[in-house]
Amino acid sequence: MIDKNGTTLRTFAVWPGTVTPSPGPYAVSFRREQGTGSDGAQIEHVVYFGANLAFSNAIDGSSPAPNPDLRTGAIRESIADGVAMWEFASMGTPITVIK
């Protein structure tokens, strides 16, 4: 997470889904407090960007490997990082995917 001045506020590891987003600029397009992930886990702090790409954390903290038979742009993060992302990424917040 980087502020408007280019200062790094937080970095963290994530567990990707099976769809790799193309590098480039995006923006937060939708937010959902809770739901069910494609792996069946109950998730929260869901922050969408691009076409069906989203950051979220599992309520129970799990991070199972994605099902290789499903195309999912889910990007799982820890509970603490999910809370931080939720608080940081409001609608329209820029997200840049790098390689």
Give per-residue pLDDT as tens, 40-75.
Answer: 889 999 999 988 899 999 999 988 778 888 888 899
Q: What global pTM score does this model have?
A: 0.91
The vertex-52 CA angle with 46 and 55, nearest 5°, equals 30
For position 10, what pLDDT does the model report? 96
First to last CA, the chain: 16
15-97: CATH class = mainly beta
* 3-state SS class at 88: helix
Give per-residue pLDDT as tens, 13-35.
Answer: 999 999 989 999 999 999 999 99
For position 59, what pLDDT does the model report? 96
For position 66, what pLDDT does the model report? 80
Report the DSSP pairing between strands 24-36 and 42-49.
antiparallel
